Amino acid sequence: MALYSETVMDHFRNPRNVGVIEDADGVGEVGNALCGDIMKIYLKIEDGIVSDVKFETFGCGSAIASSSMATELIKGKPLSEALQLTNQAVTKALDGLPAHKLHCSVLAEEAIRAAVKDYYDRQGIAYDPKDFPDCGSCEGCHG
């Protein structure tokens, strides 16, 4: 059995939504010092909908694939749905990730949450802090 699914390989070789949104409405950057992966997500919001999303990722193939898939999963969706994106949903959409690479999907989830929080902060939109948990590390995803 191959280590990576065809979907992971496709999103690694042909990542979607790569780049920067210069006038982004929200930007989230997260990193994991353990593995060296860094993800930055840019959001453009129109009427509460993610009208555009781009990413920059420094990291392994799983990190790039997770970023690419996560952006695909939230593009065109209401912010409320973007906030509900989980690392499990990213992993499932990628047809799985090896256990030692699950932290990449966690980073994708955290980067999106950070970008939405940044948008809320910039717009002065009230939110429940528990909607933006800060794990501080990825200990839990290393099993």
**Quick check: is 135 catalytic?**
no
> What's the pLDDT tens digit per position in 57-115?
999 999 999 999 999 999 999 999 999 999 999 999 999 999 999 999 999 999 999 99
Confidence of residue 134 (pLDDT cuts 50, 70, 90): low
- For residue 73, give the nearest of 11, 20, 28, 9 by alpha carbon: 11
Query: Exposed (0-12), middle (13-18) or buried (19+): which is 111, by Cβ within 10 Å?
Result: buried
- For residue 55, give the nearest of 83, 100, 24, 96 by alpha carbon: 24
Of 104, 135, 138, 141, catalytic = 104
Residues 83 and 101: beta-carbon distance below 8 Å:
no
Residues 63 and 37: beta-carbon distance below 8 Å:
yes
**Quick check: is 104 catalytic?**
yes
Give the CA count within 13 Å in the CB-facing half-sphere of 50. Answer: 29
Of 35, 60, 135, 141, catalytic = 35
- For residue 18, give the nearest of 63, 76, 83 by alpha carbon: 63
Question: What pLDDT, on the 0 to 100 scale, is given for residue 138?
Answer: 41
- For residue 114, give the nearest of 28, 8, 13, 4 by alpha carbon: 28
